[in-house]
Amino acid sequence: MILCVQIEKISACLSSFAPLMDQYQRGEVNFPDNVLKWLEEAEKTMSSLRLSEGSEISSLRGRILKAMDALRKGDTRPAHSTLRRARNVAAAEALDRSEAILRDRLLAAEERLKFFEDKLCEGITALVLQNPLPNSVSPYQAWLLLVWNRLCQFQATRPLTLYLATSLSQPDRIFILNKVLSRIQISDFVNSETAD
């Protein structure tokens, strides 16, 4: 599971949550339909990430679709305004619950990456105190791979790299390596001339 992709996709989905709540607050007529579309996109996102919470989001869509049917009893038809209110309430509740589902998954992914980022920060510190980082190359991704290989070769950080390699996908390792390296003044630690 690539956590950095999960974070990116779920964050993109959550970015359109606030405008929907604004629609609800303003009492816009198309609010329930827009929520249904948003839930469908959220479900697709969760499915593409192979996250089981997508099925709960699907059931939340169903609650909105069934909201009007629940008010109909026999031959009596409730007033249109009553049906509309019921659908709006169901949509708002579904939106609120699905936002919580997405937010929980996002926070879990961010916390996991942060944990490994802190571990990698310790490893980079150990590396640059005794060895220079490789000279910068283009493209930048290639340089990150050189730094990772240097970490793998350095005796003091080899156990850490094995731990990270078994715990994270390569894109996640490179993602957190980039974050860690962006925090330090790289020029102070690149090649032997600058280390002297």
Question: What residue spans define the domains of the chain?
Answer: 3-110, 112-195
If pLDDT is split at 50, 70 and 90, which confidence band does 24 have?
Answer: very high
Query: Is 134:143 a contact under the CB 8 Å cutoff?
Result: yes
Instruction: Please state, in angstroms and as integers, the Cα–Cα distance from residue 61 to each residue in 42, 81, 86, 93, 132, following that order.
Output: 11, 21, 14, 10, 55
pLDDT for position 84: 84
In contact, 151 and 145? CB cutoff 8 Å: no
Q: What is the pLDDT of residue 189?
A: 64
With a cut of 80, say whether residue 190 has pLDDT above it.
no
Tokens for 185, please give them. Answer: 């003044």
Please state the pTM of the whole predicted model.
Answer: 0.81
Q: Mean per-residue pLDDT for 6-34? A: 94
| Residue 20 pLDDT greater than 90, yes or no | yes
**Res 82: pLDDT:** 77
What 8-state DSSP symbol labels residue 76? B
Using the predicted structure, report yes or no on whether residue 142 has a pLDDT greater than 90.
Answer: yes
What is the per-residue pLDDT for 71?
64
Band (pLDDT 50/70/90 cuts) for residue 135 is: confident
Question: What pLDDT was estimated at residue 196?
Answer: 37
Chain centroid, CA 103 distance in Å: 9
Q: Is the pLDDT of residue 187 over 60?
A: no
Q: Are 111 and 176 in contact (CB under 8 A)?
A: no
Q: What is the pLDDT of residues 89-133, one digit of tens each?
A: 999 999 999 999 999 999 999 999 999 999 999 999 999 888 888
Query: Residue 189 has which token pair?
Result: 């630690």
Check: CB of residue 152 under 8 Å from CB of residue 161.
yes
Stretch (H or E) spanning 125: helix 80-130
pLDDT greater at residue 78 or residue 102: 102
Query: What value does the mean pLDDT of the chain take?
Result: 88
Give the tens place of pLDDT for each residue, 33-74: 999 999 999 999 999 999 999 899 999 998 888 876 766 665
Distance CA 38, CA 77 (A): 29
Model confidence at 161: pLDDT above 60: yes
